[in-house]
Structure 1
Amino acid sequence: MVLTFISLICLALGPEKDACGQSVITVPYAKPIPNPLPDYALTSTWAALPEVADAADRVPLRSDFEDQQASARADVFFIYPTTYVQSPDGRFPWNASLADSALNLATDESTILNQASVFNGSCRVYAPRYRQAHFYAFLTPNNDDKVQALNFAYADVRTAFEYYLQHYNQGRPIVIAAHSQGTLHAVRLMKEFFDNKPLGDQLVVAYLIGMPVQPDEFRTIPPGGAPGQTRCFVSWRTFAKNYYPDWYQKEVNTAVCTNPLSWKTDDAYVSQKENLGGVGLKYTYYPQLADAQCHEGLLWISKPYIKGRAFISNKNWHNADINLFWANVRQNVQTRIDAFISKEKQ
């Protein structure tokens, strides 16, 4: 079990040659050619769709959760994090190809299974495949390379969302959910489609996880400070208690930290007894997995409460941001949807 949780961190490390086998990109940014535009009319360009059997339909082992998409009253548009850390041909283009079947499988068996599935209890799950930026985009000293790679990726997310609105949504309440690179794209999407826009009336909540989001990021969408608040956003980044990552700077410690055990933004400690359960890499359910406390823009946890926890030395729990609090997130989605629909009926 210790190794299971340690392995969650591997994809969160940088793509230099390391224990995770990731790689540096040594050439300047260039648009991937050939790399055909995604056609979102094809089910193959979606990692998750309600009417297609996929990893987002599953529920954890050793749990009594059920996939409720058939009766769900809301949709979630989920933007997955970076899974592109290598290249099948060794040349490491800046953006992934949707024809990379190995990458698609890795995405499905990691983030779609462990993260997107949290929403299947109360939402129809939509998760587009997109030509994500390579992880090195977050490490390169050349900001132009980073911007171009992320812009290229966001264009796909935007196109997929427009297709979703035109062909799938039909006026239903919308949850936006994302992690890491996905959160960068989700913030842009929120500003373009929801913030001070008519579509904002359909927004239940946005889960913007794994990247710093400032309290004033949006003009009309505030941070959420209560479990049943709607038309708001929540955000957190998980690290070991008393740990500050190397990049941490005091001038950006104003980032929103939502405690996923209380759904408040204060610095109150919440014990693992309030944790309804999380999931390990093998998608096994573990109750009371972690405690949580917000501290200067970071979410701090003690070592997960599992057998052998004394041997855990991880400091960065980025890749387990959702895993550690899986059942609490699942419950909160339902709570906010219920509150949203109740207000709509008034």
Structure 2
Amino acid sequence: MNKGLYLVFLMVFVACKSTYITQEFTQKNIPSKPDYSLETNWAVLPITYSKELKEFSSKEIDTLKADVFYIYPTLNTEKDDIRWNVPVNDVMQQEKVLNKTVLFQASAFTTSGKLYVPYYRQAHLRSYSMLKNGGEHALLLAYSDVKKAFETYLEKYNNGRPIIIASHSQGSTHAKFLLRDFFDSKPLQNKLIAAYIIGTVIKPNQFKSIKPMVNPNEIGGFVGWNTFKKGNYPKKKDKYKGSVTTNPITWNLDRTTELNQHKGFLYSNKKIYEEALEIEVTDGLIWSTNPKFPMRFFMSFLKNYHVGDINLFWKDIQENSVLRTNTWLVKNK
């Protein structure tokens, strides 16, 4: 597999196996708690954009009137990594966050708002299949960081600006708690432009007052989906059944799309490939055709497109988040 394709599909989501090497979850094995008043514990702040990230934004950062709080997906998946949680100063993890998830996921939102991405003590992938043996503790520890980072963001950076919450996979696990704790039936919900809670199971009644959005310019609610190759299911066929399944191309209740409706797939060469795929909305799943892009032959072997939940629809998300942001700003003049 060529290097470019490897960068995009490195994070292929696989079921956890009992062959994982692990350690007991104990206090002495917990990495140090991050201090979010320090810039070093943030992957991205508006004043620390990398040159590559700035290339994705067509606007000057200071002219943006909204904020985006992004929570990245699971990146520590190695079977010989015995840690339950990754320290925020882990250099290899930081490199993955900045050069994979920020560039190929969070970048879709940089024309909508100022981007905030905290490092957090992320739980290992095995946490999901070993909840009773340490996994639940690891995930709750990871969320405690996300929660603290968001509290710091509100206190230090937000200044009353409207907010987009964006997340993927494990990040979406934490985003659901974040919406519950800070937005659902709370005053801050008035500042919620939209929540893009992608790559997880999220039910229509997940929250008391935050509802699924079914129109492209709707605000104050959430969207979500899980992507598979057309005709394929997860190993547990009903895993996503009943989960909110937003059409990430039309953003309405359309069940299918045509090739010319697809705005663009961001590939690892940083080029956008328009009209690259068609989708079908099923119960809990987005079925996608094999997208048209360089080396697409290799993708034909994949059945689960979880890793591409965002970058397969990168330009679609970019345009939609701008639309929702502008709608919020007009309604709240």
> TM-score scaled by structure 2?
0.92
1:122-141 CA distance string (max 9 Å, x none): 2000000000001111233x
Percentage of matched positions with identical amino acids? 35
Q: Which runs of 5+ in 2 are unaligned?
A: none
Give the whole-Å Cα distance in 2 for the aligned partners of 1:143 and 1:9.
Answer: 30
Question: Counterparts in 2 of 1:160-199, with a 5 A limit?
Answer: 160-199=149-188
Selected match of 1:284 from 271, 282, 293? 271
1:241-285 CA distance string (max 9 Å, x none): 0101102327x511000011010244x211221112111123222
Conserved 8 A contact 2:273-2:292? no
Conserved 8 A contact 2:16-2:125? no
Amino acid at match of 1:291: E
Conserved 8 A contact 1:174-1:202? yes
User: Match of 2:178, SS?
Assistant: helix
Q: CA deviation at 1:3?
A: 7.4
1:198-237 CA distance string (max 9 Å, x none): 0000000000000010000011011000000000100011
Give the whole-Å Cα distance in 2 for the aligned partners of 1:143 and 1:307.
Answer: 43
In the alignment, structure 1 residue 103 sits paired with structure 2 residue 93: yes
Aligned to 2:309: 321
Corresponding residue pairs, total: 331
Give the whole-Å Cα distance in 1 for the aligned partners of 2:296 and 2:52.
Answer: 29
Q: CA deviation at 1:28?
A: 2.9
In the alignment, structure 1 residue 258 sits paired with structure 2 residue 237: no
In the alignment, structure 1 residue 40 sits paired with structure 2 residue 68: no
Q: CA deviation at 1:342?
A: 1.3
In the alignment, structure 1 residue 273 sits paired with structure 2 residue 260: yes
Conserved 8 A contact 1:25-1:94? no
Q: CA deviation at 1:92?
A: 1.9
In the alignment, structure 1 residue 333 sits paired with structure 2 residue 325: no
Q: CA deviation at 1:308?
A: 5.5
Q: Which runs of 5+ in 1 are unaligned?
A: 18-22
> TM-score scaled by structure 1?
0.89
Give the whole-Å Cα distance in 1 for the aligned partners of 2:280 and 2:167.
Answer: 21
Give the whole-Å Cα distance in 2 for the aligned partners of 1:310 and 1:12.
Answer: 16
Give the whole-Å Cα distance in 2 for the aligned partners of 1:291 and 1:97.
Answer: 40
Conserved 8 A contact 2:193-2:324? yes
Aligned to 1:80: 72
In the alignment, structure 1 residue 27 sits paired with structure 2 residue 23: yes
Amino acid at match of 2:39: T
Aligned to 1:52: 48
Selected match of 1:297 from 284, 287, 295? 284
Amino acid at match of 1:72: L
Aligned to 1:158: 147
